[in-house]
Amino acid sequence: MDLKAPARIELQIDELVLHGFSPQERHAIAEAVQRELTLLFQSRGAPGAPQVSTERALVRAPQAQLAEGTGAKQTGAAIARSIYGGLSA
């Protein structure tokens, strides 16, 4: 049986612009983005794999649509899903 190590995926987000959120929420939102992206890559793999590009300078993800009063965890998860979707574009 040939067991291969899982592929290593590194995603660096240099800038994430959030409007309408308290600065105190930034760390909770960032942690939720990281957690959700990890879950998405673990459960679904890389979008477009195996044709996925090894390096992309810019990903234009669609805006995450959020209801007013959405908490940091839900906000981060929605942003992560938008980023993940933008990777396949």
pLDDT digits (tens, 9 = 90+) for 43-86: 988 776 555 555 666 777 888 888 888 899 999 999 999 999 88
Query: CA–CA distance from 77 to each of 1, 3, 65, 71, 74 (Å)?
Result: 37, 32, 11, 10, 5
At residue 5, does pLDDT exceed 60? Answer: no
Q: What pTM, to 2 d.p., does this model score?
A: 0.78
Domain extent listing, the chain: 23-41+72-89
At residue 13, does pLDDT exceed 80? Answer: yes
Q: What span, in angstroms and rounded, lies between the C-alpha atoms of 33 and 72?
A: 9
Query: Percent of the chain, pLDDT > 90?
Result: 34
Which comes out higher in pLDDT, residue 53 or 13? 13
Which comes out higher in pLDDT, residue 74 or 16? 74
Are 36 and 76 within 8 A, CB to CB? Answer: yes
